[in-house]
Amino acid sequence: MDTPDTRPVRAGEELDWARLEAWLRENLRTSDVPGLDLRERMEIAQFPGGHSNLTYHVRFGPTELVVRRPPFGPVPPTAHDMAREYRWLSAVHPVFPLAPRVFALCDDPSIVGSVFYVMERRHGIVVRDEEPLPIQDKPDVRGGISLALIDALADLHAIDIAAAGLTHLGKPDGFVGRQVRGWTERWHRSKTSDVADMEALARWLVESLPENLPRPTVVHGDFKLDNLMLEAANPRRLVAVFDWEMAALGDPLVDLGILLAYWAANAASRHDTLTTVTTLPGWLTSGELVDRYAARSGRDLTTLKFFEVFALFKVAVVIQQIYYRFVNGQTSDPRFANFGDRVTYLARRAAALL
C-alpha cells in the first residue's frame, strides 16, 4: 500500500519478497517494534528519493518499517556499507534522537542479494526539487527551517563522544587525510573520461591539508537539506536526519562544507543538485548559515575554504560513481544520464575557489 511519500517498487529494483518476509518474521522481535503484529500480511512499496542506496517501505498491518540496502550491481569498496551504517545508528540514536532507531541487521546476502537493515519509519516531509505545500510561499517558514537545520548540525557536533561512549566508532587521527586519499582513489576507479579540474583539485587537497585540527566530533558525512525530514504540521521542527552511511569521527567542518556545497549550488545552477528551492525568499544565505553555525558552536572557521573545496570534490565523485554505473549498464535509471555534465560543472566550481 502506497503512502503520500512512497511509490510502487521501480522496475528492476524488486527483491525476493518471500525470502525477505520470512527473514523479517523470524528476526524481528515484537518487543522491540511497537505495535508489530507479524500475523498481518506484508505489504511493500518504495521511497522514490535518493540516487544510491535503495529504501523500501514495509508494512505489517498498521506497523510501518523501512528496509535499506545498497544499489544493485558492483559498488566501490567500502561504499554502501549497511552493517557499518547500522552500527552507527545503533550508537548515535540514544544521544541524537534525530537519528532513526534500527531494529535488525541481516548480514546474509542470500536473502535479498546484499546486506540490509531494518529501521523505524518516521513521518514528515522532505524538501527536494520542489517545496511541499506546508512551505510554499512562506518565507518565514523557510527561514525557520534554515535555522533548525544549522542548529541541529551544531548540536550534533557538540556531542561529547567520550561521554556518549562513541569513541569505538572511528579513528579521528588523520581523518581528513584519509578522506582526501579515499575520495581521490574513488575518482580514479570510477572516472569515465579525463577531467583536468578534478586532477588539479586532488593535488591541491593533498597539498593544503589543514593542521591543528579541532577536537573530533561525530561527522554525519552527507548533511544536506534532502537528508532531513521536517514535521508536516510545523516544518520548522526536524523529525529525522537520514543517510548515515558516511558517518565518522573527525573534523566537524566536513559537514559544514557539504551543507554549503549543496546550498551554494542551489543559487548557482541546476547542473549539480536536485534541491534548488533555497534560492527562494526566506531561506538563509550561505553566509548566514556560516554565521549562525559559528555563533551556535563557537568554532574557529578559518579552514572552511578547504572543506568547501573538498565537499565539492566529494560530491562530484559521488555523482561520478553513479554515472559510472549508468555508463556501464549497471543501472538504466534515466535520472543519471546527464551526471557526467554535473561532475564537470562541480569540478569547475571547486577550482574557482582556489
- Residue pLDDT, tens place only, 96-131: 999 999 999 999 999 999 999 999 999 999 998 889
CATH architecture of 17-120: 2-Layer Sandwich (3.30)
- Domain-wise residue ranges, the chain: 17-120, 139-352
DSSP code, position 69: E
- The confidence score (pLDDT) of residue 105 equals 97
| pLDDT tens by residue, 7-39 | 999 998 999 999 999 999 999 998 899 999 999
The percentage of residues in the chain with a pLDDT greater than 70, rounded to a whole number, is 93
- The confidence score (pLDDT) of residue 271 equals 47
Residue type, 61: G
Q: Is the pLDDT of residue 49 over 90?
A: no
Give CA angle at 288 (287, 290), nearest 5°: 65
- The confidence score (pLDDT) of residue 16 equals 96
Measured between alpha carbons, how far is residue 341 from residues 16, 37, 154, 318, 346 in Å? 35, 48, 33, 13, 9
Q: Is the pLDDT of residue 1 over 80?
A: no
Give CA angle at 81 (150, 229), nearest 5°: 30
Q: For all residues of the chain together, what is the average pLDDT?
A: 91
Q: Is 272 helix (H, G, I), strand (E, B) or coil?
A: coil
Is 118 within 8 Å of 83 (Cβ atoms)? no
Residue type, 94: P
* Dist CA 323 CA 345 (whole Å): 14
Rounded to two decimals, the pTM is 0.89
CA atoms in the 13 A half-sphere facing the CB of 206? 10
Domain range 139-352, CATH class: alpha beta
Q: Is 8 helix (H, G, I), strand (E, B) or coil?
A: coil
